[in-house]
Chain A
Amino acid sequence: MAQGIRDKAVILGMGCTRFGERWDMSSDMLMAEAFGEALADAGISRDQIGAAWLGSALDDVNVGNSAIPLATALRLPSMPVTRVENMCATGTEALRAATYAVASGAVDIALALGAEKLKDTGFGGLPIRTKGSVNDLWMPYGSAPGTFAQLAGAYAARYGIDAVDLKRAMAHVSWKSHQNGVHAEKAHLRKAVSMETILNAPMIADPLGLYDCSGVSDGAAAAIICTPEIARSLSRDALVSVKSVQVCASNGWEMQYGEWDGSYVRNTRIASGRAYEEAGITAADLGLTEVHDCFSITELVTMEDLGLSQDGRAVFDVLDGAFDADGRVPCQTDGGLKCFGHPIGASGLRMAYEVYTQLKGRAGVRQLKNIDFGLAHNLGGQPSNSVAAVSVLGRLE
């Protein structure tokens, strides 16, 4: 394996807007809000940033094409600015680009900012997008819940899991996130919901009910990355280092080649394996995870894909509370996509924001004890055709 980027870049500061239905703000205002917090946290001036990356996934409905919306919103002074897009993994792509720029020595200080303004679409859920002029001739136009719902049936069939047990475990995933979201000041949904309500919610895509689905939100999140040397020169302590960032994209193997049974996300397994190796840790070293719980079943199988549950055991681990706030490896301490919200391009950075906040000891009533490493898992596309992005953050020794 290549040398990797472990401890070659640290997070100097982060910011995150309140996620939700931000009728009062346009995307440039959201970007400015997240950036302002990150800049203040970093304790630097805008002029010290050497390069910036903007993550926005749905340019046609909100932020706009290219890097110009970010450069303009923040009035970034004549620097290289690039827009990245990798579906729901977009936020982590921005983080990866900024981290790589710093780790390579090309830039001393870099900005990664993700933003999405989804609520201006005028309807719930994600907009329907073209899959490309050729793919549109044959690929179904299923919704996001529709694509992920298929994990459930395939998972149940593979492991012989009773549909009622699986539904309860999925409901527990959402119940836990709602419990956690109550304590996240910037979360979109901050209300606890009973298991009964979750289990009896209207069906969206069998077997996913309303509460098995994350909503869509407006929001932005930002990270300012620099070298450890610069951070130390600024007299910062308790530095949070980027231990690894790994991405794996489908090449059609799942959809076109006959081995995948639809019960797991292969790219998450590959990306997380590489991320652990790059970070020099194992899954057992993780103190918390922020995973891509776009749907409850996604989080459930992700626990296996990340190696936090044995294959076929996540249902039982979830029901045993292994990933609750007081569990073995807490997951979504800020409520996750389910409750904190899911402005697509910002989500990967929002996950990093929570891990960073926990590692900094700033999480208030959500604060976990004795954590050295946290993982953010950001998943774009659909299980059969995905982009998985896994990053590990930890304290800089």
Chain B
Amino acid sequence: MANRSIQSTGAYLPLLRFERKSARAELSWAGLGGNGRGRRAVAGWDEDALTQAVEAAREAALPVGEAIARVVFASTSSAFSDRSQSVLLSQALNLPRDVETVDLANCRRSAVSALLHALRGAEGAELIVAGEKRATQPGSAANLTWGDGAGAVVVSNGPGVARLLGAGRVNLDLLDSYTSVARGFPYLAEDRFVRDVMLSEALIPAAQAALADAGLQASDVVLAVVPEPVSGLYAAAARKLGLTAPNMIERLGAEAGELGAAAPLFGLAMALEQAEPGQIVLLAGCGNGCDVLLLEVTGKTRRRPAHQALDEGAPLTNYSRLLSLTGGIQLDWGPRAEVNQKVSASVLVRHGREMHGFIGGRDQGGNVQFPKTPFPVNPALSEPGRYEDVILRDEPARVVSITADRLNFTPDPPFYFGLVQFENGARVVMEHCDAKGVAPEVGAPVRMRFRIKAIDRQRQFRSYFWKAAPLERPQLAAKE
């Protein structure tokens, strides 16, 4: 256990941030709409728990010289109940085919439980990623206070940026919120009940157990990461425990929303991005009980993906667009939307790994192409191709041609697409994403994002591929 450390953290938020005051204005007639304060992160139509998790994992620097041995994906909102998301994650990250893959579902604290397990002694480097895009009903509190996003953490042997000092756990079938398969939307219990019972029956006992396990006092804690299913939970816990540390989740909740299983890892990334070596971080996972970890910061992280994700984005003020993106309303897009791309299982097994991993090929003349073809596109070669794998997802690229297509159906028009040139010579006609804030122009640099390629609504299947996104996101104005 002493030899295991957190090596790095990653975090991701989607581009759009819905201004809650817009919902309050729309719903005032009904007495709904919450307090109207802050924003929530809203995933694009082509994002889900998996795609966001891939992006968070990409932000977590993988250990140098040590292969990832185990991948854990945690979510309460996976698009599939029987299609391993961790396998898809491993393909998108181009991890070896024999990497251990684990899927955790049904519990918001599962990522923290997995982190504890990893810190206590699994062998080899481990990547734990959590992503959420939870369906919520229009008008519900969850529709406005919950958000979409992902967090990631890498654990391995040897020194890193944080190590485990102690942990405590309480399991409790507390229904602060639950989501049944049949209902599909969450059902929330009364705030006051949740606050009182979660404190007394779960969070405080788990925290006290962790402090005792670590031999620490509450006053030793400098930063806290405590998810808040209801507001005021952490403040009440701090009073009772004697904690004075600020809670990272406070800013996250105000500016992006409650991220479910992803919240603790996102908050941990925030904490480690600003902590100094020697400081103590309290990390809690809440969901049918609590896991509390006490971590000692042992190094400085060089990157700040969590803070950057919070600082950047594009405001969304259109309430009906929020509802459309979150599945709250089904707009009639007309006959052009009737198309369904059926994905063949045999095609996917042949080509899925190269599609999900964005693997092109370098031919014997040195030219890189995507996808590989029986004969290389390189005019200098006339023999059937033999290729060296080339991963394109991190390769610098720029726009050759682009348009904003308003004719073909897309769930969030317009449909940006065009030819993208990679620095290594590859070029691919690609869909663009996240172009709403800054429309790309010819010559503009782009980066690759893992996204949903198409949703077959007849069979409720989705395929994944990479899309081009502007290199930079716009800065959000300071929160109100």
Chain A interfacial positions (CB closer than 8 Å to B): 121-123, 125, 128, 130, 133-134, 136-147, 149-154, 156-157, 203-206, 208, 251-253, 255-258, 261-262, 384-385
Contact = CB atoms under 8 A, between A and B. Distances in A.
B406 to A, nearest CB: 6
Nearest to A128: B339
12 contacts: A128-B339, A137-B347, A138-B371, A138-B428, A147-B403, A150-B402, A153-B401, A153-B402, A154-B401, A253-B379, A257-B369, A257-B377
Nearest to A251: B377
B288 to A, nearest CB: 38
A140 B339 contact: no
Contact of A257 (B335, B404, B427, B441): B427
B330 interface: no
Interface residues of B, number: 51
B418 interface: yes
B336 A123 contact: yes
Contacts, number: 140
Closest 9 CB pairs of A and B: A146-B405, A150-B401, A262-B401, A149-B403, A143-B407, A140-B417, A143-B408, A157-B442, A256-B377
B403 A146 contact: yes
Given A138-B453, A142-B417, A255-B427, A203 B334 contact: no
A145 B415 CA distance: 12
Given A122-B335, A137-B351, A262-B401, A146 B408 contact: yes
B340 to A, nearest CB: 10
Given A154-B442, A203-B406, A204-B406, A146 B415 contact: yes
B18 interface: no
Contact of B347 (A134, A152, A203): A134
Given A123-B335, A136-B341, A140-B431, A205 B419 contact: no
A139 B426 CA distance: 15
A136 B427 contact: no
Given A143-B405, A157-B443, A150 B341 contact: no
B429 A384 contact: yes
B312 to A, nearest CB: 25
B407 A138 contact: no
A142 B343 contact: no
B17 to A, nearest CB: 25
A234 B408 CA distance: 51
Given A157-B443, A203-B406, A150 B377 contact: no
B378 interface: yes
A12 to B, nearest CB: 40
B331 to A, nearest CB: 16
B406 A205 contact: yes
Nearest to A145: B407
B401 to A, nearest CB: 4
A139 B429 contact: yes
Contacts of A157: 442-443
Nearest to A129: B339
A42 B69 CA distance: 76
Contacts of B415: 140-143, 146
A313 B371 CA distance: 36
B390 interface: no
A137 B427 contact: no
Given A138-B371, A139-B429, A141-B415, 18 more contacts: A125-B336, A125-B407, A134-B350, A136-B341, A136-B343, A136-B463, A137-B348, A138-B355, A142-B403, A142-B415, A145-B407, A156-B442, A204-B406, A204-B407, A205-B405, A206-B403, A253-B377, A257-B367
B404 A206 contact: yes
Contacts of A208: 403
A386 B201 CA distance: 67
Contacts of A203: 404, 406
Contacts of B442: 153-154, 156-157, 262
Nearest to B439: A206
B370 interface: yes
Interface in B292-347: 334-336, 339, 341, 343-344, 347
Contacts of A152: 403
Contact of A141 (B339, B371, B441): B339
Interface in B397-422: 400-409, 414-415, 417-419, 421
B430 interface: yes
Contacts of B352: 137
A133 B355 CA distance: 13
A253 B336 CA distance: 31
B430 A140 contact: yes
Contacts of A139: 429
Contacts of B355: 137-138
Given A256-B427, A384-B429, A141 B403 contact: no
B404 A205 contact: yes
B344 A133 contact: yes
B454 interface: yes
Contacts of B396: none
B274 interface: no
A262 B453 contact: no
Contacts of B427: 255-258
A300 to B, nearest CB: 15
B373 interface: yes
A123 B334 contact: yes
Contacts of B350: 134
Most chain A CB within a 10 A radius of its CB, from B344, B377, B414, B428: B377
Contacts of B441: 153
Interface string B171-195: 0000000000000000000000000
B418 A150 contact: yes
A323 B229 CA distance: 69
B131 to A, nearest CB: 22
Query: B339, B355, B403: which has the most chain A beta carbons within 10 Å?
Result: B403
A102 B418 CA distance: 42
A140 B429 CA distance: 7
B20 to A, nearest CB: 32
A134 B344 CA distance: 9
Contacts of A147: 403
A153 B421 CA distance: 15
A145 B405 contact: yes
